[in-house]
Structure 1
């Protein structure tokens, strides 16, 4: 029993090179996370401090979430490895054999210079900003019961993983798409048209395969156009001139695709015009084989537009 107890120490002694520096160090060693924290915006710093001091359970869940995301479902580890290789190549020969702790401190100083424009900072910031929404809106957990494991992220180790469309993979894809991690693009049929929140990290919608009615079209856009989503946060930080919800209708020119898009855009224009006036009009599913002129029905957003109410309220003396 005594030999088994001493085995770990004996193994370490056998592996340690002869003449290795075995001095004790009193100065603390920093970490890359400490360097990232220094570069965070003040609101995100405050949020982390609040989790750590007042809500440690949330802080622990976030730590597991960010660890799984960085290791298995993002390019951050590749970026860190690139920094290390670049740092090692820049060392002089005598520095490569210097004290390990001193070399590690130099690497941290080198990494600190890379962080402001790094994927590491962008992913970390986005993860903090959306974590609570992810837990309450996507995972549907109560605030005081966040005991969700983040093993799902370990299965999203490739942008193309779980792309088969099997129903058992849907929740994995929804979680990954609403995180800063993989997948970054989600291709879906109308099965995701209703009842799914996909808004935390997305601000672009591409309608390839037109919805037949403007209502169905709005349902699809509504998966992204939601409060507390990516577009909403960009509006708060950057204003309307620097942020927008991008909606695209790709088609093959001079083809049936263009007929579908043109007919739909024309119909959508008419419906929106009547809807603003709380009126209804006739509706049909006809596809008009007219491939010219429909572009005039595309609406261009007008910044700071003032819309008049077609039915303003009137207050009598009753």
Structure 2
């Protein structure tokens, strides 16, 4: 291609002498059996042709110089002239057969996946030799990585799929590599890192420091990369930690290295790692810094990301302290980190004494489960075996629904970050449970689906809720780790696909997280009158500008609810029963009283997707909701009021059998 000559014409023009020599050079004897090694033959032809007959490829002596220098450096084992065989054994297919790297150059002539010297016509006499030798090193490393990792399976299946058309083998593999398959994305990312930081990897992992490309190009394989594994363990007596750490400094396997204090100092693990998990705290803050220092160094991934990000950088070095909640470990983690920060105040830390360190500490945050983290478009339900048909959901509708929630949740995460909050995990797709934290505040955000409302509910809870703030959506008690914890909560009605990507709902949540107290809605009658009238039996009674009372029928029964309209949301409460009317029950340990029923209500609330149970001094046991919302439709308001009244009535019927309220 460098000389603009068709490969078939070049094969025809190649002298018989070189064909015959290449046959002898690539022949090996094993007893009575004689074998031909195709790769050796092609290499001999390449180096001898460019030295003796470059015009076959359309190159004069000057233009052939960088190719000759590169071939002589990389293919030094094929320089000696071989004895020619009696028959030239011409094989034009050696020139025309498709190869992975030729197809790679056609698919990725430019961009992060392009190999060095991907455009042969651009090779010049000044830098061409080094670029061609660098290309050989890149090909060798990528090829060895493909062969020794799971990528080999993808190559195999591409080969299987291309059996009918052998020319399509490399193309099928590159089709997969260019796809959005998770495995392809990972391999693509690894290749990008290999090519972008080739010199850094060779110097830091493969003993290549100081060695020029022409010398490195002679390597046909790298022993440092043999036997890779996804996860490696290194202990004091395991040995071979030098190979483990070298492999870990490459973009490919291993992904995780688990080690004892054997690797806490004097070892570099930084080239492609920016996450450290301390399994057990160290005795001193200095030991913690030593551990983190394995990845926080010059030429590290975190340094490269910070340099590329600009100011202010939005990248983080993740340092975690896994521990068992409600155990001695938690206290140890808190004390060690606090002592570490005190030590920094006495040292020369550039962050010391600032009003806000560029660090975020989350102690007690729940580790997310690895399975089923992403929400399905619809939450599955259990249908009875008889009496109901299962409603089918078209694939297009499901995809549109998923895109809506992903888009809205992405906007929510972005708004939280802009407001100074951190969220873990930081996925821009909805996850079942996430942790919000900022400057000592920490909340849990969980998704649930209410089938009756046909709406997702976001529940925000925290054991450290600001006293007297707007977060008055009830309380619950649930198991966290090995202990049961009481936490206050509020809930947000996520906008449905019909309501669009409602940013008002996001703004309401940010106000509440900032501790804003509820403010009476000035247009409460206009906003809620139609919904209340649609479900009310006997009209709507407005007790104030933002407080209304209505009786909602439910078959032969009915239930009275009170609505409080706020600028950010709404509180709707229905009385379930006076304490004395609840009677003797094992649920609250005998005869009811305020403390026993309140204790039971905390546990019962934990099982509710929407709303809470609570005990009021005057009214007794109540069921209600305090939800934040955006631009609700008239139908959504009507269904919310009706559903709260019906659920309060169900509780009354279940606990008392009466219809007093």
CA change 1:36–1:231 in 2 (3 A) is farther
Partner of 1:109: 171
| 1:18-167 to 2 correspondences below 5 Å | 28-37=96-105, 38-39=107-108, 42=111, 45=114, 47=116, 53-54=129-130, 57-72=133-148, 74-85=149-160, 87=161, 103-117=165-179, 118=184, 119-140=186-207, 141-144=209-212, 146=216, 150-156=222-228, 158-159=229-230, 166=237
Q: Distance in 2 between matches of 1:275 and 1:229?
A: 23
Q: Tell me the equivalent position of 2:271.
A: 200
Change (3 A) 1:241 1:161: closer
- Is the partner of 2:319 in helix, strand or coil? strand
**TM-score calculated relative to the size of structure 1:** 0.64
- The C-alpha deviation readout for 1:233-253, integer Å capped at 9, x for no partner, is 334555676632211111111
For 2:307 and 2:109, the matched residues in 1 are separated by 17
Quick check: 169-178 or 214-223, which moved more?
Answer: 214-223
Paired residue for 2:239?
168
- Measure how far apart 1:58 and its partner are: 4.5
C-alpha distance in 2, partners of 1:46/1:298? 48
Residue of structure 2 in register with 1:184 after alignment: 255
The one of the two structures with greater contact order (alpha-carbon pairs below 8 A, sep at least 6) is 1
1:186: how far off? Answer: 0.6
What TM-score do the two structures reach when normalised by structure 2?
A: 0.34
- 2:341 is matched with 269
**Greater Cα shift, 121-130 or 248-257:** 121-130
Kept in 1, the 8 Å contact 2:234–2:260? The answer is: no
Report Cα offsets for 1:202-237 as digits up to 9, x if no partner. Answer: 111101121222222222111111232222333455
Larger Rg: 2
Q: Distance in 1 between matches of 2:308 and 2:299?
A: 12
Equivalenced residue count is 258
Give 1:211's aligned residue.
282
The superposition leaves residues 101-129 of structure 1 with CA deviations (integer Å, 9 ceiling, x where unpaired) of xx123333333332224244333222223
Deviations 1:8-49 (A, max 9, x none): 599xxxxxxxxxxxx966983332223334337636647556
Distance (whole Å) between structure 2 residues aligned to residue 221 and residue 80 of structure 1: 38
SS class of match (2:262): helix
C-alpha distance in structure 1 between counterparts of 2:111 and 2:177, whole Å: 16
Give the conservation status (yes or no) of the 8 Å contact 1:52–1:59. Answer: no
Unmatched 5+ residue regions in structure 1? 11-22, 89-95, 98-102, 281-290, 301-318
* Cα distance in structure 2, aligned partners of 1:269 and 1:252: 22
Structure 2 stretches of 5 or more lacking a match?
Answer: 1-28, 37-90, 353-362, 365-436, 443-661
Distance 2:132 2:141 in 1: 14
- 1:175-214 Cα distance to aligned partner (Å, 9 max, x none): 1101123221111122212221111121111011212222
Query: Is 1:253 the counterpart of 2:329 in the alignment?
Result: no
CA gap 1:237/1:104 in 2 versus in 1, 3 angstroms: farther
Q: CA RMSD in A?
A: 4.1
Q: Give the conservation status (yes or no) of the 8 Å contact 1:199–1:223.
A: yes
Cα gap change, 1:202 to 1:41, in 2 (>3 Å)? farther
More helix by share: 1
Aligned pair 1:243/2:311, yes or no? Answer: no
Q: Secondary structure at the match of 1:111?
A: helix
